[in-house]
């Protein structure tokens, strides 16, 4: 497949996903209804009539106006309560969520890849050490790990702080690359433990595939590309999974904006931004990688097909 054709297909598929996501958001918020917005509006106050007018406009916004606002003007809408454009506020919180997702992937790679190598090199030892740990991690969830990591950190005297420090900005003595990394460590561990188990199993399968292949160089290239695609998809998925961790660990990302405003216009904007970020990130990585790695464009090679035999895809992904 040529690069132009691959790029056209990926861009077309990404636009289709964004269109379907925007359509679903419209149905949920404008057709089904904004839900809890009305009780917070008091018509007897000074701003009450203006808020009711904005709520009425929001509830009766047509699908065409919704898409034109989003695509033609690049606007995510206006707040029902104060009339401000929510685009800037939502986009300001998106990098925080992306930092948390990226930190989880980095932690998973640092832990899962070495464990997978040990598991592949020392099979018997791996079966009694790495395999049980991976099985337990895969049965849990990021929400479960977030609670237990937070509790364990508290019991040992909270050596790892949580919250958020800006990467470049500094507020109240907290900021810069060192503080940014230090405060992201605990959330990254909580979110990355499940992925570390997945990566350990996948690495074991990949190394097993390379060991049985006749052409080692080609097998290594295919394995690296398959693993790279898996990591990219995980990063996109984690953008949504970070919301729970943000709530428990006081990270002011998209979930913080969701809870701070508590109105349908902002909720709608956050869903759209989270979807656009995940799809856009995956598309960008695919296009750049496919430009320099032609094998990246081939979709037939998948992790669940690495091992011979009737293994299911879930078993092949976990390596258990």
C-alpha–C-alpha distance, residues 184 and 238, integer Å: 15
pTM above 0.85, yes or no: no
Q: 266-320: per-residue pLDDT in tens? A: 888 888 888 888 888 889 888 988 888 787 877 544 444 444 333 333 344 444 4
Low-confidence ranges of the chain (pLDDT < 70): 34-42, 141-143, 169-173, 244, 247-250, 255-262, 299-320
> Where are the chain's structural domains?
3-318
Helix H or strand E segment including 171: strand 170-171
Helix H or strand E segment including 175: strand 174-175
Look at residues 101, 282, 283 and name the one whose alpha carbon lies nearest to residue 109: 101
Q: 210-248: per-residue pLDDT in tens? A: 888 888 888 888 888 888 888 888 877 777 777 767 766
Phi-psi region of 176 (alpha: psi -120 to 50; beta: other; left: phi over 0): left
Residues 6+ apart with CB under 8 A from 29: 264, 267, 268
Tokens 């080692």, residue? 216
Tokens 């190394």, residue? 207
């Amino acid at each position: 497949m040529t690069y132009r054709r691959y790029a056209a297909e990926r861009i077309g598929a990404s636009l289709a996903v964004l269109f379907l996501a925007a359509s679903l958001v419209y149905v949920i918020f404008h057709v089904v209804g904004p839900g809890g917005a009305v009780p917070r509006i008091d018509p007897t106050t000074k701003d009450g009539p203006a808020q009711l007018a904005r709520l009425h406009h929001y509830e009766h916004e047509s699908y065409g106006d919704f898409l034109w606002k989003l695509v033609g003007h690049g606007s995510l809408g206006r707040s029902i309560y104060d009339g401000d454009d929510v685009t800037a506020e939502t986009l300001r919180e998106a990098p925080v969520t992306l930092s948390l997702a990226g930190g989880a992937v980095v932690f998973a790679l640092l832990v899962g890849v070495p464990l997978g190598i040990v598991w592949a090199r020392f099979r018997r030892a791996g079966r009694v050490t790495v395999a049980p740990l991976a099985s337990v991690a895969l049965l849990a969830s990021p929400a479960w790990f977030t609670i237990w990591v937070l509790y364990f950190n508290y019991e040992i005297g909270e050596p790892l702080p949580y919250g958020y420090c800006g990467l470049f900005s500094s507020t109240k003595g907290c900021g810069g690359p060192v503080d940014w990394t230090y405060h992201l460590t605990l959330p990254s561990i909580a979110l990355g433990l499940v992925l570390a188990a997945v990566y350990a199993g996948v690495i074991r399968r990949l190394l097993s595939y390379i060991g049985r292949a006749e052409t080692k160089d080609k097998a290594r290239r295919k394995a690296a590309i398959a693993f790279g695609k898996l990591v990219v998809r995980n990063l996109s998925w984690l953008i949504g999974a970070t919301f729970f961790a943000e709530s428990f660990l006081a990270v002011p990302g998209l979930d913080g904006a969701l809870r701070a405003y508590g109105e349908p216009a902002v909720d709608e904007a956050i869903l759209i931004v989270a979807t656009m970020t995940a799809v856009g990130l995956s598309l960008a990585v695919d296009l750049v990688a496919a430009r320099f790695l032609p094998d990246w464009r081939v979709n037939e090679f998948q992790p669940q097909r690495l091992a011979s035999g009737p293994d299911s895809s879930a078993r092949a992904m976990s390596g258990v």
